[in-house]
Chains A and B, each alone.
Chain A
Amino acid sequence: MPLRYRFTRALPKAASVALVAFALLVLFGPVLLLALFSFNDSAIISLPWEGFTTRWYSEAFSSGEALDSIVNSLNVAAIVTVASVVLGSMAAWGLTRLRFAGRTALAGVHGAVLVVPWLIIGVGGLIFFSQIEWQLSLTTVTLMQIVTTFPLVVAVMSAALVRFSPSLEEAAVDLGASQLQMLRHVVLPQVAPSLAASAIFAFAWSFNNFEISFFTGGFQQTFPVWVFSVLRHSTNLPIVNAASTVIAGAQLLIVFGLWWAMKLMNRRGGGDDVALAEIMTGGMR
């Protein structure tokens, strides 16, 4: 700390606080106002505060489309998360711990999925399913989301596996553990926080995914697609406020809940907060 003291003093404390405050303002301010106006008793999202109401919430959750789209998104995200964590962990293990021909090329294909824009994968999926004459539905959305999401799990899990030396695993096998016992008792405890992080990221990627759901969903709407279509026609906006507030609140709770869970697991596994920060930012690399 004292070593870098003089350089870090270059930016005055007030400036750093202002910078962080501005960042938080642009990142969260709009969403907070959106939440605030979900309680305004007016069909127009505008300033004169007409009084407190919860009717937009009851309308949002009694009418079909909003609720249906949320349920659709949750179903899709649940399947995508499970499938991605399974496929991604398998591939990460294979790509980091096993030797076989074509491994580098295969790792490249996994990486390529993460680089190709979702818009293009969505259009590719649309054309593919029309070619093989599959009706577009939530099933096609789920399939396309699995293929775009599990490489993210591969990235997070590979990063975790690379961090741990395989010597412990070899020792376990040498001492007579079966492959399954070794995976269960040696590998799993080490990578548990990363597994949790992959699950959060996979769920969020699926739940928030707009492009792929939009192109390969046909007439079945996920939540982002529903918001998009309502915004295009600009009707019933306060209902969008209400539904969005619920979703944003749930996402806040999920992120914090899983953060605590990861923290616990990480402590139990002997890691410190630096390791945790690394896992958390792992999805970004």
Chain B
Amino acid sequence: MEAATIAGAAVGRRPSRLTRLLRPLAFMTLPTATLIVLFLIPMGILFVYSFEYGPLTGSSGFTLTNFTGFLSEPLYGRIAWTTFQIATIAMLAQLLFAVPLAYVLAYKAGRFELPLLLALVLADELNPMVKIYAWRMLLGRDGLINEALLRIGLIDHPIDALLFSKFAVIVVLSTSYLTYTVIPIYASMKAVDAGLFEAALDLGAGWFTTFRRVLLPLIAPGIFIALLLVYVPLFTDFASPTLVGGTSGYMLGQVVADEVLQNGNLNGGAAMSILLLVGAALFSYVAYRLSRVKVES
């Protein structure tokens, strides 16, 4: 950098102060304007709406009722609990599965490594609505799983709990986001110096000890990145619970959608959005800090 600047000055081509000022403007004006008009302003309006009375209440001005309405009603506490359960179980299930899968991809797949990565990317590119529909077709009362189990005589009655339940939402969500859980963990495993394993084994550690004491701490940042990428979208999902959750799998994302689209209560929907956003921000901050701490130590 330094040398190049000097060389530039030497041949008299150092950009003038004016060009150095104008160049960022030329590149950044359009993207920044897009962000301001279509992201920051809408988010600002959403924020303001969440503190205003709705048009139906007849009052105007600043209020906290949009928030207190949710926070004081036990129903929403229960929905929040359901949401937490579904998102957390789906996340844990994915991690339990993703760590060994990433391990196979990173260390054992050999020439299948890239094709398998491509398969994971492809799985993510498939339309999410198509994937939800495919699961619904399998899990329903007359769905293919029940049908098949009945035919081979394993069950007498179709299992109702497969669809329109928390279970269904967990299955659909876990499979929808698996790509984003596996890839960061895989990437962090690729960065590990394999000689460390050998050293650990030479020093008499068993494979489990090697995994827990050597590999796990080194891939922890990857796990936190996976949490960062996946947990918030899981928590705020509303398409999957709407289509496969029924009444027992009703989640907070659906509260937002229903307030806005069915009840026409934009202010309530805005308030719930802000609550979710604050929760997401807190969670992301903690996960981010944890991933940093692990990197530094």
**A interface residues with partner B (beta carbon < 8 Å):** 3-4, 6-8, 10-11, 13, 16, 19-20, 23-24, 26-28, 30-31, 33-34, 37, 44-47, 87-88, 90-91, 93-95, 98-100, 106, 109-110, 112-113, 115-121, 123-128, 130-131, 143-144, 146-147, 150, 154, 166-167, 170-171, 173-174, 176, 200, 204, 207-208, 210-211, 214-215, 223-224, 227-228, 231-232, 237, 240-241, 244, 247-248, 251-252, 254-256, 259, 273, 276-277, 280-281, 284-285
- Which of these, B108, B121, B133, B256, contacts A119 with CB under 8 Å? B256
Residue of A nearest to B202 (CB): A6
CB pair A98–B35 under 8 Å, yes or no, is no
Any A CB within 8 A of the CB of B80: no
Task: Please name all residues of chain B whose beta carbon is closer than 8 Å to the beta carbon of A276 when the two chains form the complex.
Answer: 114
CB pair B42–A127 under 8 Å, yes or no, is yes
A165 to chain B, nearest CB (A): 9
Supposing A7-B207, A171-B4 touch, asked if A244 and B127 sit within 8 A by C-beta, the answer is yes
Supposing A3-B198, A45-B137, A285-B225 touch, asked if A90 and B127 sit within 8 A by C-beta, the answer is no
CB pair A109–B280 under 8 Å, yes or no, is no
Supposing A20-B104, A106-B28 touch, asked if A227 and B133 sit within 8 A by C-beta, the answer is yes
Of B58-66, B67-75, B143-151, the segment with at least 4 beta carbons within 8 Å of chain A is: B143-151
A-B contacts, 11 listed (Cβ < 8 Å): A33-B144, A46-B142, A46-B143, A90-B28, A127-B45, A167-B4, A214-B239, A223-B129, A251-B122, A251-B126, A285-B225
Chain B contact residues, majority secondary structure:
helix
CB pair B273–A120 under 8 Å, yes or no, is yes
Supposing A16-B108, A23-B178, A240-B133 touch, asked if A91 and B144 sit within 8 A by C-beta, the answer is no
**B interface residues with partner A (beta carbon < 8 Å):** 1, 4, 7-8, 11, 13, 21, 23-24, 27-28, 30-32, 34-35, 38-43, 45-46, 49, 97, 100-101, 103-104, 107-109, 112-114, 116-138, 142-144, 147-148, 151, 175, 178-180, 183-184, 186-187, 194-195, 197-198, 200-201, 207, 210-211, 225, 229, 232-233, 236-239, 242-243, 253, 256-257, 260-261, 266, 269-270, 273, 276-277, 280, 284
B153 to chain A, nearest CB (A): 14
Q: List the 6 shortest-distance A-B pairs measured between CB atoms, nearest first.
A: A30-B134, A4-B194, A10-B207, A94-B27, A7-B197, A170-B4
